[in-house]
Amino acid sequence: MNTIEFTAKISQGMIAIPKEYDQELQEELEVEVIVKPKRKKRLMDRLVENPVSVEGWRNLTRDEIHHREGND
């Protein structure tokens, strides 16, 4: 048994097999389909993809990040 896993869009009840698997799936086979709902992106994932721009923001240096009050 050979397991192939891929994500596909369903169009009019048809699942398109990616071209990379065409050669492996030429004969009559038993196919098992598992439908998983698409996971919603977490807030942190969305922020990484679309960072919020803040006026006046500047990146801190390593020393500024690790500076503690009273440790001068």
Domain limits of the chain?
Answer: 10-66
Half-sphere exposure of 48 (CA within 13 A, CB side): 5
Instruction: Give pLDDT tens digits for 10-57.
Output: 889 898 888 888 887 777 888 888 888 878 889 999 899 998 889 998
- Angstrom distance (rounded) from CA 3 to CA 30: 11
Residue 72 has pLDDT above 60, yes or no: no
Res. 71 pLDDT band, cuts 50 70 90: low
- Cβ distance 54 to 47 under 8 Å? no
